[in-house]
Amino acid sequence: MMTAALVEGPPEETGHRLAATILNTWEQAATAGTPETLFNLLLQDSATQQTFANYVENQIMASIKEQVGTDLDLAIELMLSAILGVLLSRYVVKLEPLASMSREDLIAVLGTVIQRLLGQLETVG
């Protein structure tokens, strides 16, 4: 799913596709309380932290590196940190205006941030 968001469509729209994919996935999980549970476990349980870190490294980061042709782990981690920060702020902490922002507006804003960070992947190094 993440890989498809990275490669299907024009490169200049990758950030928006990725934001839409992440928010769609997260909002489906949100109906079962998964976001809050995940963040609580990440704060309290070292085994969950390690499992999540392995997933991010071996699945998400590997997919991004494969598609953008770079091995800039720090830049990719910064992009993922921005995404996780938005998810935590919107769905768990419920900070305004993120919490009440329409899904479409959030995709537009987050997509632009992701796109800029993806652009940095090409220029760093």
pTM score of the predicted model = 0.76
**Is the bond preceding 11 in cis, omega lying within 30 degrees of 0?**
no
Looking at the chain, the whole-number percentage of residues with pLDDT higher than 70 is: 82
pLDDT in tens, 46-56: 999 899 888 88
Q: What residue has token string 């490669």?
A: 7
Residue 81: CA count within 13 A, CB half-sphere: 7
